[in-house]
Structure 1
Amino acid sequence: MSRDADKAFFGHPIGLSTLFASEMWERFSYYGMRALLVLFLTATFASGGFEMAELDAFTIYGIFTGLVYITPIFGGMLADKILGQRKSIYIGGLTMAMGQFLLAASAWMHGTDASMELRQTIFYAGLGILILGNGFFKPNISTMVGELYDNSDPRKDGGFTIFYMGINIGAFLSPLVAGKLGEQVAWQYGFMAAGVGMVLGTVWFFVRSHTLGQVGMPPKVKAERVRLAITDWFSILLYVIAIVGLTFAVILGWGAMPAKVSTAIIWIASIGGVLILGTTIFRGTSGKTEWNRVTVIIVLCIFNILFWSGFEQAGTTFNVFARDNTQRMIGTWEIPATWFQSINAFWIVVSAPIFSILWVKLDKMKLNPNTPMKFGWAMVLLSLGFVVMAIAYSRSTGGDSLRLVSPLWLIMVYLLHTFGELCLSPIGLSMITKLSPPKLVSTMMGIWFGTTAVGNFVASQMKAISLHLENALGREIQVFWLIAIQSAIFAVIIIVLAPTLKRLMHGIK
């Protein structure tokens, strides 16, 4: 790469602009659908929804967002060993677009002669295809960002923060567009908008792939090749067809299975996956230094679970709070509840450049906190956000009747959580690319997203956990206070562990 190209995008490699925009459109697609999911599932039959109970909708949301972050483990492994990152991104992009269009089709079928069973089959197939497609896309585009830089390049953390801005520009725009269309026009238009966004992201990646040089090409490819061959595109098409066919086969066959058989399959698949993953890590890691660094990754992944188990209330309890407990009227105009899903992304877009500059400035002053300490600050900020949320909920539900509270409460919560996110998420992505053994970068990136998956599912169950505690203790347990206290405790633990983890990183900052 020429010196000019290496600094052509705000002082970063020009390839970052390609990955930035591709991820922006992919996140537009994902967050547009995510903003609608719980509201769509709990909407009445008459409005085109499925009229589910709130806790059931939370569980489906948690399973979906959990599996969305589990499949990147296997997508990363396939990219490392067989496909390469570029082919994986095309496979993921095309399948995710199809998944969004299937969700739109399930909503469009409302009011036709289609049965509810058929609508649900189409809907769950769309979710399944989205889950598998994301597994191919998500870990590999992040890995490609890391490959644009040397590990010693001080711009790397800043590059990931800029990349994170792309994620959040998409996340900011999608609830405004897809959320508005789905919530206040018709559900299918919201899902269609998300599908179009995914198509645009894939097309952009294709048109601008020349800016990436050899980054992300399939393993063992000739050094001079910077474009995919016809045979590569043929295999991409086969993977897309296989994913769609497999998803429908599983959904149609799953309901016909006895419960014991389906449960056994889940256990076998889970244990098999863990064994394959463990074997892959064992074979790809060598020497004390690499094993110490892998240990650090595993410890920080645990705290990643704890962070997202709180943060991801955004799509469940926060979404319902915005709909039911927040004053959304401005004159005669009602703010869509989904628009509150854009607040976090807005704060990211505003704050990410500041954090990117901050880390570089602190590094020059030799005051830049190490990665574990940044995780500690993330947990502190998460806890403070839930303290604010707990107070807002108490003000809304105190007394004999429900009182709508100002939107400023949610805005403040999202601000604190955004600062926490910027101390953890882009730093975590950068950390994986720096600490992972060279043969396992995409695999470890998949594990990182896998722990995010666990955090997402735990987040969906926190309301149910608080209700179980209420029944066991015989007193009210507000979910927001529960998460605030939990986060504060774990913040203290990671801050205490930070010096030891820094030592195990062997010079990687």
Structure 2
Amino acid sequence: MSKTTTGHPKGLYTLFATEFWERFSYYGMRGFFVLYLTATLANGGFGLEKTEAYSIYGIFTALVYVTPIIGGILADKILGQRKSIYIGALLMAIGQFTMALSIYDAHDLFLTRHMSLYLGLGLLIIGNGFFKPNISTMVGGLYSANDPNKDSGFTIFYMGINLGAFVTNFIGGSLAENVGWQYGFMAAGIGMVISTIWFFMRETSVVSGETGLAVGMSPKDQGTEKNKLVRKDWNSILAYVAGLAILSYILVHLVINIDSDLLTDIVLVIGVLGLGYLFVTIFQNTTGSTEWNRVGVIFALAIFNIVFWSGFEQAGTSFNTFANEYTDRNVFGFDIPASWFQSINAVFIILLAPLFTIIWTKLTAVKANPRTPFKFAFSLVFLGIGFGIMAIANDTYNASNALISPMWLVMVYLFHTVGELCMSPIGLSMITKLSPPKIVSVMMGFWMGSIALGNFLAAQMTAISEHYQFDTFYFITVYAFVAAAVAFLVSPILTKMMKGIH
């Protein structure tokens, strides 16, 4: 009775809705965050220059991909996935409401505007680290290793991610831009509260479709009849939330008041130590020429992964401000909020992901499915085409000094989504196939790190192009096409190094 009539475990739909509301929360604030930072003080924003706002956004989104490495380790070794999800969800809810406080000049919580902003971001980063990797792990735990429904189960779950990303900007973005920034953050916070309550109410449904045992319990409770968390577990959860919130406050206070050069040195040291740990672990657990060749492919493809995300993540920075300032958003007398454009990618994912699944299956049947390195090369081509369109759109605006059609951005997002479908799911699948068996999780952490670096570079692209006096969109167009050419050239070599893995 642990399965539905569709053949999927009941817990899948619990996790689907939990993830839907969490993505509603995350993508909601992400959609208008740069607009909030660059809005004038008179309009409730921080009045930051674009490059400074992009930098804050880039650091935030980069760290969002780093902390899941730590959250995953703690869940595996100590907490279990369920407790980790509750800890992450509560921290993120508090983080969103703390962000809402940053709209006010003064309040009685010992928080300045900047302190509220950075503390909220810190809580979101830490909370995401506990939540994001573990809910995906629980989806996998619902199925046996050879269950034919496992892939389609993850597809259903992935739809929850994109449905949340699609819906949120119409609610949170509209509230933020048209009513008040704080209401956008509050909507995101309420979404996170709904996510937590839903998971709590449906917790007992998250059991393995094969064994009927609870999924995601702590190591000491795995394999037992225990199917929900008890008061002792909740005491532990609340202790973690309180401790991490206090730690976040202390760290943010230090970051705001510490010398910037010293802070840079500290971040550099932490980064070097983290990379050192990854490489030592990889070196110790990789044996034989076959494994080393495959690891070499992962390293090479990680470079192209960084290039792709450094362009793709312009969606939250330069594309966002372009939609806000240069795009004709008036349709039949209604001004479309700029943040709504952030939902276009999610719409195309929902429409095109099933089509791509069919395409890869058909190509496999006739032995014409491109190898992974070639798919990466194609993704960079689509990235370059999208930025080429964006550069022309920018020129069109500059030539006429008149707002341009929103269809320019729609076309850009279409090509970038096609590129994403050639890169993102393929890369995750590639890691599970090519990694040495003992360190699949470590290699996944390395891959997440490459995405984090891509997100950080995305925020620096405007500053880099301005420094060298290049047009940002033309610069990334050339950058993407050059990377694509290199990818096509090395793909035959990388294919051989994969040693039979497709």
TM-score, with length taken from structure 2: 0.89
Question: Does 1:71 find its partner at 2:67?
Answer: yes
Q: Indicate conservation of the 8 Å contact 2:345/2:413, yes or no.
A: yes
SS of alignment partner, residue 402 of structure 2? coil
Cα deviation for residue 178 of structure 1 reads: 0.4
1:312 and 1:263, CA in 2 relative to 1: closer, same or farther beyond 3 A?
closer
Alignment-mate amino acid for residue 22 of structure 1: T
Q: Indicate conservation of the 8 Å contact 1:143/1:445, yes or no.
A: no
1:218 and 1:439, CA in 2 relative to 1: closer, same or farther beyond 3 A?
farther
User: CA offsets per residue over residues 413-440 of structure 1, 9 Å max, x none?
Assistant: 1111111111111222333344444554
- What is the rounded CA distance, in whole Å, between the counterparts of 2:395 and 2:492 in structure 1? 38
- What is the rounded CA distance, in whole Å, between the counterparts of 2:219 and 2:109 in structure 1? 47
Q: Which residue of 2 aligns with 1:204?
A: 198
Q: Which residue of 1 aligns with 2:170?
A: 176
1:377 and 1:190, CA in 2 relative to 1: closer, same or farther beyond 3 A?
same
| Of 360-369 and 334-343, the range deviating more from structure 2 | 360-369
- What is the rounded CA distance, in whole Å, between the counterparts of 2:324 and 2:6 in structure 1? 45
| Of 235-244 and 274-283, the range deviating more from structure 2 | 274-283
Q: Which residue of 1 aligns with 2:393?
A: 392
Instruction: Please list, as runs of the form range in 1=range in 2, the aligned pairs for 1:94-493 lying within 5 A after superposition.
Output: 94-107=90-103, 109-110=104-105, 118-147=112-141, 159-209=153-203, 210-213=205-208, 215-219=215-219, 221-225=221-225, 227=227, 229-230=229-230, 231-259=232-260, 261-286=262-287, 288-398=289-399, 402-470=401-469, 477-493=470-486
- What is the rounded CA distance, in whole Å, between the counterparts of 1:499 and 1:217 in structure 2? 44
- What is the rounded CA distance, in whole Å, between the counterparts of 1:7 and 1:363 in structure 2? 26
Q: Which residue of 1 aligns with 2:488?
A: 495
Q: Indicate conservation of the 8 Å contact 1:143/1:441, yes or no.
A: no
Question: Does 1:53 find its partner at 2:49?
Answer: yes
- What is the rounded CA distance, in whole Å, between the counterparts of 2:438 and 2:141 in structure 1? 13
Alignment-mate amino acid for residue 37 of structure 1: F
Q: Indicate conservation of the 8 Å contact 2:320/2:339, yes or no.
A: yes
Cα deviation for residue 152 of structure 1 reads: 7.0
Cα deviation for residue 228 of structure 1 reads: 5.1
- What is the rounded CA distance, in whole Å, between the counterparts of 2:476 and 2:147 in structure 1? 37
- What is the rounded CA distance, in whole Å, between the counterparts of 2:418 and 2:63 in structure 1? 26
Cα deviation for residue 48 of structure 1 reads: 1.5
Q: Indicate conservation of the 8 Å contact 1:322/1:337, yes or no.
A: yes
Q: Indicate conservation of the 8 Å contact 2:297/2:494, yes or no.
A: yes
User: CA offsets per residue over residues 174-232 of structure 1, 9 Å max, x none?
Assistant: 11110000010111110011111122223333444433425444346442456355344
Cα deviation for residue 443 of structure 1 reads: 3.5
Identity %: 54
- What is the rounded CA distance, in whole Å, between the counterparts of 1:229 and 1:113 in structure 2? 36
Alignment-mate amino acid for residue 381 of structure 1: F
User: CA offsets per residue over residues 79-121 of structure 1, 9 Å max, x none?
Assistant: 33333333322222221111111111222x24x5679971211
- What is the rounded CA distance, in whole Å, between the counterparts of 1:153 and 1:71 in structure 2? 30
Cα deviation for residue 135 of structure 1 reads: 1.4
Cα deviation for residue 325 of structure 1 reads: 0.8
- What is the rounded CA distance, in whole Å, between the counterparts of 1:116 and 1:242 in structure 2? 18
| Of 176-185 and 51-60, the range deviating more from structure 2 | 51-60
SS of alignment partner, residue 112 of structure 2? helix
Q: Indicate conservation of the 8 Å contact 1:77/1:442, yes or no.
A: no
Q: Indicate conservation of the 8 Å contact 2:142/2:206, yes or no.
A: no
1:205 and 1:113, CA in 2 relative to 1: closer, same or farther beyond 3 A?
closer
Cα deviation for residue 21 of structure 1 reads: 2.8
Count of aligned positions = 495
Higher RCO (C-alpha under 8 Å, 6+ residues apart): 1
Q: Which residue of 1 aligns with 2:19?
A: 23
Q: Which residue of 1 aligns with 2:211?
A: none
User: CA offsets per residue over residues 429-471 of structure 1, 9 Å max, x none?
Assistant: 333344444554444333322211111111111111111111x
Q: Indicate conservation of the 8 Å contact 2:25/2:191, yes or no.
A: yes
- What is the rounded CA distance, in whole Å, between the counterparts of 2:200 and 2:281 in structure 1? 31
Alignment-mate amino acid for residue 242 of structure 1: G
Alignment-mate amino acid for residue 368 of structure 1: N
- What is the rounded CA distance, in whole Å, between the counterparts of 1:285 and 1:202 in structure 2? 40
SS of alignment partner, residue 47 of structure 2? coil
Q: Indicate conservation of the 8 Å contact 2:7/2:149, yes or no.
A: no
Q: Indicate conservation of the 8 Å contact 1:347/1:418, yes or no.
A: yes
Q: Indicate conservation of the 8 Å contact 1:314/1:341, yes or no.
A: yes
Alignment-mate amino acid for residue 190 of structure 1: G
Q: Indicate conservation of the 8 Å contact 1:178/1:189, yes or no.
A: yes
Q: Indicate conservation of the 8 Å contact 1:96/1:129, yes or no.
A: yes
- What is the rounded CA distance, in whole Å, between the counterparts of 2:138 and 2:498 in structure 1? 22
Cα deviation for residue 375 of structure 1 reads: 1.7
- What is the rounded CA distance, in whole Å, between the counterparts of 2:228 and 2:278 in structure 1? 28
Cα deviation for residue 362 of structure 1 reads: 3.1
SS of alignment partner, residue 102 of structure 2? helix
Cα deviation for residue 299 of structure 1 reads: 2.5
SS of alignment partner, residue 255 of structure 1? helix
Q: Indicate conservation of the 8 Å contact 1:25/1:198, yes or no.
A: yes
- What is the rounded CA distance, in whole Å, between the counterparts of 1:149 and 1:427 in structure 2? 21
| Of 460-469 and 432-441, the range deviating more from structure 2 | 432-441
- What is the rounded CA distance, in whole Å, between the counterparts of 2:359 and 2:10 in structure 1? 22
Alignment-mate amino acid for residue 354 of structure 1: L
Q: Which residue of 2 aligns with 1:91?
A: 87
Alignment-mate amino acid for residue 133 of structure 1: G
Name the Cα RMSD after superposition.
2.8
| Of 447-456 and 209-218, the range deviating more from structure 2 | 209-218
Q: Indicate conservation of the 8 Å contact 2:93/2:190, yes or no.
A: yes
- What is the rounded CA distance, in whole Å, between the counterparts of 2:363 and 2:148 in structure 1? 11
SS of alignment partner, residue 300 of structure 1? helix
Alignment-mate amino acid for residue 461 of structure 1: Q
SS of alignment partner, residue 19 of structure 1? helix
Segments of 5+ residues of structure 1 without an aligned counterpart are 471-476
Q: Indicate conservation of the 8 Å contact 1:157/1:430, yes or no.
A: no
User: CA offsets per residue over residues 290-334 of structure 1, 9 Å max, x none?
Assistant: 444433333322221111100111111111111111111124321
Cα deviation for residue 335 of structure 1 reads: 0.9
Q: Indicate conservation of the 8 Å contact 1:151/1:434, yes or no.
A: no
Q: Which residue of 2 aligns with 1:474?
A: none
Cα deviation for residue 167 of structure 1 reads: 1.5
- What is the rounded CA distance, in whole Å, between the counterparts of 2:51 and 2:324 in structure 1? 16
